[in-house]
Amino acid sequence: MHTVTDIEQLDLNGTYSYADYLTWRFEERVELIWGKVFRLFPAPSLKHQKVSTALLRGLLAHFEKHTCNVFHAPFDVRLLDQKKSVRANKDIFTVVQPDICVICDDTKLDEQGCLGAPDWIIEILSPRTAKKDLKIKYDLYEQNAVPEYWIVHPNEQYIQAYSLENGKYGEMRLYSEEDRATPPLFPNLQLPLPDIFE
């Protein structure tokens, strides 16, 4: 397998594995979803970064005395196709870099990042990522049994939150304005939205 130094060397309509991904040496960040390459756009907006920092601050403060780990992008999360994948790199076809993720099972962590579904994924929406976060990643995270998925809308200042129920995401919870957002998975955690969106 040869080393790829420029994204233009890839067939963006082709199908790639995590083994391929490991040979890529170009600077542009990408994700693999079901073997397809998705480019990650240049640095997020200032508002995106402020919201991300506020969320991260709240999560780190809460989880510092717990066994869960909090990570932020860039951090590789390799998701396994339950029907096809084993743990070999050549059999993994999805590698995403969520804005924030919480992982409570240390056995899923290795030097490359996370292998398997995090307990909680948070994606912060931007106009360029809206379709991917709202549809493609929603389906992906549901199929991979990510227990909690939040989509944060920094411009409109609200959060769409989903929890897994019997293998499917249940009814959306909407947090906005003066709400305190609490994931059912971590009922002792409260994130005051005025602090997040200040």
The domains found in the chain, sorted by start residue, are: 46-73+97-196 (3.90.1570.10)
Q: Is 140 helix (H, G, I), strand (E, B) or coil?
A: helix
Runs of H (alpha helix) within the chain? 18-21, 46-63, 130-131, 137-143, 193-196
Asked if 31 and 138 touch (Cβ cutoff 8 Å), the reply is no
- The confidence score (pLDDT) of residue 115 equals 95
- The confidence score (pLDDT) of residue 1 equals 56
Q: What does pTM read for this prediction?
A: 0.93
Stretches in the chain below the pLDDT threshold 50: none
Asked if 136 and 142 touch (Cβ cutoff 8 Å), the reply is no
Neighbouring-strand partners of residue 32: 37, 95
- The confidence score (pLDDT) of residue 177 equals 84
- The confidence score (pLDDT) of residue 83 equals 56
- The confidence score (pLDDT) of residue 47 equals 92
Asked if 168 and 142 touch (Cβ cutoff 8 Å), the reply is yes
- The confidence score (pLDDT) of residue 57 equals 95
